[in-house]
Amino acid sequence: MRRIDAALPQTLRGLGISRRTRQAQALWLWPQLLGKDLANEARAEKLAGGTLWVSTTSTALAHQLHLEAGQLLERLNAMIGAPVVREIRFRQGGGPR
């Protein structure tokens, strides 16, 4: 008989739940990555095909975050524990929360 802690990861992978959980983590961890105040101005909307879409309150903020995208990407994937996010795209269009 296998132990549950040995069987569970393989079962979750087989069901595709591990991947979806990691994708959800990208959205959930975004505010922690940026900090509460900045996360109110730059909201992670969705993760599709490895691209994290972030809506910002201004084009200036979208541009600034774009310049820092490489560092944000590395830190976010480190927080998730897997290379889930391959690209971050910023677009102006969201008001503050």
Q: What is the pLDDT of residues 53-83, one digit of tens each?
A: 999 999 999 999 999 999 999 999 999 888 9
Q: How confident is the model at residue 11 (pLDDT cuts 50, 70, 90)?
A: low
Taking 60 as the threshold, does the pLDDT of residue 17 lie above it?
no
Q: Which residues pair with 88 in a beta bridge?
A: 52
Measure the CA–CA gap between 81 and 30, rounded to whole angstroms: 14
CATH at residue 39: 3.30.300.180
Does 97 fall in a domain?
no
What average pLDDT score do residues 33-59 get?
A: 94
Does 34 fall in a domain?
yes
Does 53 fall in a domain?
yes
Is there a contact between 37 and 30 (Cβ–Cβ < 8 Å)? no
Q: Which long-range contacts (CB under 8 A, 24 or more apart) does 5-13 make?
A: none
Q: Which domain holds residue 21?
A: 4-92
- Higher pLDDT among residues 2 and 36, named by residue: 36
Q: Which residues pair with 44 in a beta bridge?
A: 54
- Cut 0.75: pTM above it: yes
Residue 17 CB partners (closer than 8 Å, separation 6+): none
Please count the structural domains in the chain.
1
Does 80 fall in a domain?
yes
